[in-house]
Structures are given as structure tokens and as C-alpha cells.
Amino acid sequence: MEINKYIDHTLLKPTASFDQIDKICEEAKKYEFASVCINPCFVKYAAEQLKGSSVKVCTVIGFPLGNTTTQAKVDEAKQALKDGADEFDMVLNQSWIKSNKIEDAQADIAAVRKAIGDKLLKVILETCNLTDEEIAKASQISEKAKADYVKTSTGFGSEGATPEAVKIMKANISDQVKIKASGGIRDLETAEMYINLGVSRLGASSGVQIMQGKTSTQNY
């Protein structure tokens, strides 16, 4: 099991600096992580730093609340695409899910899907804010809107990934859609547990510690 290939090496803190972006890009190249996951303002810079490497540039859309307008998400995604983003982790409009505006929530995802073409799209459900039934619905509409992944968490909610949420997500998508677990994954044991549950990607700010077999104490 090549754990490194599962990891989106993540830095989404509001105080992140260019020096820190340099650091995670270098770490990502060293450990050959799947991607670096960064805020949109850093995409162009990170794409330059990672040029020639296997590491993808992943960014976030509508982050961290998901309640910006669809047009704002589309514009943000288009700019990030222009700047060199390879993968897009967009936040679900949870208010629309809570209000049973399921078609609107699906259209929101579909609009970003259309904006980024064939680039990888992951939909962040923020499962800590949703009931089991809402997690199931959100997973289903993400697939209908042609998302490539459903993702548990932003890392900024009250709780990150849980095995229970991952199981509900898995039960409500086909084999065509993958799962990304994120939030609270700070050691190798937890990473392996999620992979064994069928997760294909891990969002972690503790990628280096995971690779070194250590337990990270950092958190957002």
C-alpha cells in the first residue's frame, strides 16, 4: 500500500504564507503525494513550484461554508483552472440540503463540473453538519452531477471524517465515484483504517508525520 499516493497534502489555514506553500510543495515532491491542496490565491504560484513533478495542484471552491452563489463558485473555479489547478474540492451548499432544495444543490455541483471540464471534482459534504439521511442524499446528487469524489469534511467543521459517515457515503454511490476522507487524520493507523474502508484519497495537513509513522498534534 503506497500511502503517499492517497494523500492530498493540505494547507488551508487563513494565515498560510508563501513560505509555507513553498514548504508543502517541497514536501509533496519529496514524498510524491497525490497533490497539494491549497487556497485559490496560491494556485498559480504552486503550479509553478510543482511543474515537472507528479504532484497535482488541488484547490478549494466555495470554501469553507459552501454558501456562496453558484455563479461565484463557477467564477472561482474558472480562475483556478486558468491558474493551473488540476483538482477541485468544492463545498456543498448545505443550506439547500437542509431546506430540501435538492435540485438546487445538485445544479450547484453540476455548474462547477461544467466549468472545469474533465478536471477532477470532489464535493465536500461537511458530514458533521448533516444527518445520515442528508449525507445519503448529498452523496447521491454528487454522483448525478458527475462529481468524481465525495469528501467528508473541510477540516473547519465541528468534526472531521468518521467511519460512520464514510460507510453511508459508500452505500449511496456507485463504483464510479470515489471517497476522500479528511479532517482529523493525523497518524498512519487512522490513514490505513480509512483506506481499508474503501477511501481513495486522504486530506491531511499531517502527511509528513503519517509517512514518518508519527502522530501529529496539529489541527486547524
Catalytic residues: 89, 151, 180
Nearest to 150 by CA among 122, 108, 182: 122
Q: What grid cell was written down for 210?
A: 503519517
Cell representation of residue 31: 514524498
Structural Rg of the chain based on CA atoms: 16
CA separation, residue 63 to residues 67, 124, 192 (Å): 9, 9, 27
The Cα 161–Cα 191 span in angstroms is 11
Contacts of 135 (CB under 8 A, 6+ apart): 125, 127, 165, 168, 169, 172
Distance between CA atoms of residues 47 and 50, nearest Å = 5
Rounded to whole angstroms, the Cα distance separating 45 from 161 reads 29
> What cell does 188 get?
498512519
DSSP string for 139-170: HHHHHHTT-SEEE---SSSS----HHHHHHHH
